[in-house]
Amino acid sequence: MTVKRILVVAVLAAAVAFPHFAGYTLSSIAITALLWAYLASAWNFTFGYLGRTSLGHGAFYGLGAYTTVMLASKFGVTPWIGMWVGAVVAGLAGLLLGAVTLRYKVRGVYFALTTMAAAELLRALFNSWNWVGGPMGLLVSPLPDPANFVFASETSYYYVALAMVLGVYLLNRLLWKTRIGLEAFAIRENEDAAEAAGINVKGVSLFFVTLSAALSALGGTFYAQYMLYIHPDIMFSFEPTLHMMLGSIIGGPSTQLGPILGSLLVSGVDAAFRTLFTGSSMVAIARVMYGLVLVVIMVRLPDGLLGTWELNRRRRIGAQAAAKAAAQATARAAAGAAGAAEAAEATAKEVRPDGTVAG
Amino acid sequence: MALLQVERVTKAFGGLVAVNDLSFEVHEGEIVGLIGPNGAGKTTVFNLITGFETPTSGTIRWQGRDLKGLPPYQRCRLGLGRTFQITKPFARLTVLESVMVGALHHAHSQARAREVAMEVLEQMGLAPLAHALAQDLNIVQLKRLEVARALATRPKLLLLDEVVAGLTPAEVPVVVDMIRSVYRRGVTILMIEHVLPAVMTLAQRVVVIDHGVKIAEGTPREVTTNPAVIEAYLGEAGAVALG
């Protein structure tokens, strides 16, 4: 416990100190990595909790960015407020999408395609809607002004991104341990069984889809304020969703830290390959190698890096507890209870040494 | 008053009438068996009672109240617990977590649900496996888990869908004892069973359906000597041979 605490403090200290030692390039890489880590966690509120694969989180990400930038440029609302309006707009969009897909029992690959279609629809709409910039996109006033969420230094952006990652992690941790978190996990594992066990599948699912959409919107705002330019083909494309999925799935969607660590790893490997291999043919080789690394992880560890580790840990704990109970039953049986002996034998037989249970 | 009343319920899937004008009641403190040959519509009856399917016509009452329009999770909270014929485990959750899920609607917090779940696991003899993953269980353990999860919801009536089917002869008495011990704790039971000896030893009353129609109702002894029941199970030749 104390070792764990020291480790947490050390990681936090390193994260806070990082921009003071890193140069501009490293800081930029870190900011992007943190943004994807944040977004992977946001996406994971639908995938990791509900088991629903959204391919259209670009819709929420884009709505967040566009709402903030439009409010700032047309109505002079500071992005610090606009970002929350964007979250509400995207949350409502998520609620609508969730309600429609739940109402018509759109699941699995059909749910995935529906979300993708929603993002494509918004991309087409924003591309042809001149009031919001149309195919020209929108520029954010580049004048550094902390009151308007535009900073002169990478360091400030870094700290905002870090705070977002910490915030989403703490929220995740909280939900994990509360009633609605476990209800969602039951839905993820089996919707009908969850409903039969008294869980309001519709209500819980809507909560997480809405939350996931609203949080993604905040990431979209950050992107807009950091890059200072948004365009429908960037915001509503599949690209942001791809980053979210990769981080979550590589890290482990059914773990608290998986999406964050997975994203940081993916971004790190990507950046390393880009830096190590320069020159046009080498860049191509780097992209192929990057792809291969991802394929190998996904094929070998379908629950993600942390997820596989976590499942194995849980298996081990379960097996140890069962073995201990069996030993106790054996001891009782030795004291004379014949019935207990049978029970002990039955339990002992159930658990193999590798921790799996005989079936 | 009856705990559960099924009144003239019909369910048609397109042209196929799965349940036809079916009526029966379950009273508090009973073990009622719902039997019938393969494809008789037994599971459909369970799905109608628990709200996973909507009747084409007819009424299902719970303690006198019409259940029409209530989703399954609300019926569960009223005291209607069920298991599934094909077990539906929460594969990547532990046995303890799976049972906690059932307790959440009345326990409100994970901590309190954990206490309730531990009690249920003790009762069901699953406590040693509390921290095992559901995906690592064998079939008998899965059936126990299915019942434990339903029990954690605090049901007044437990609907058991073929918990004995698929077990080896040696495992049958173990599960029959388990059902009896659940009943002794004051839970009324309505069980679908394909394995007749199991129902006959447990149930006080049996409802027999065939092609969605009730063909007999009575004590196990009464229905097993009923020519219509024998015919449904064995065909006309069997009825003649036994008659």
Task: Describe the crossing of helices A108-127 and A79-103 by its angle, rounded to 10 degrees.
Answer: 140
pLDDT digits over A217-229, tens only?
Answer: 999 999 999 999 9
pLDDT score for B229:
87
Residues in chain B: 243
B-chain residues near A314 (CB < 8 A):
94, 131, 133
Region A157-166 average pLDDT: 98
CA distance B43 to B46: 5
To test the contact with chain A by mutation, choose from B133, B137, B142, B156 the residue with the greatest count of A C-beta atoms within 10 A, namely: B133
CA distance A310 to A338: 38
Residue of chain A nearest B77, judged by CA positions? A198
Eight-state DSSP code of residue A140:
P
B-chain residues near A192 (CB < 8 A):
52, 84, 88
Tell me what ipTM this predicted complex has: 0.92
pLDDT score for B31:
96
pLDDT at residue A38 greater than cutoff 50: yes
pLDDT digits over A282-319, tens only?
Answer: 778 878 887 888 888 888 888 899 999 999 999 898 88
B174/chain A closest Cα distance in angstroms: 12
pLDDT score for A67:
98
CA distance A206 to A32: 29
Which of the four pLDDT bands, split at 50, 70 and 90, describes residue B45? very high
A102/chain B closest Cα distance in angstroms: 13
CB atoms within 10 A of CB B112: 15
Residue A82, both tokens = 């606009």
| Phi and psi angles of residue B201, each rounded to the nearest 5 degrees, phi first | -80, -25
Task: Decide if B3 contacts B28 (C-beta within 8 A).
Answer: yes
CA distance B138 to A158: 50
pLDDT digits over A262-282, tens only?
Answer: 999 999 988 888 888 777 777
The 3-state secondary structure of A90-147, one letter per residue: HHHHHHHHHHHHHHCCCCHHHHHHHHHHHHHHHHHHHHCCHHHCHHHCEECCCCCEHH
Please report, rounded to a whole number, the percentage of residues in chain A having pLDDT higher than 70.
93
pLDDT score for A301:
86
pLDDT score for A355:
45
Mean pLDDT of chain B: 92
CB burial of residue A73 (10 Å; 0-12, 13-18, 19+): middle
CA distance A271 to A33: 10
Angle made by CA atoms A344, B181, B220, in degrees to the nearest 5: 125
pLDDT score for B25:
96
Consecutive H or E run containing B60: strand B57-62
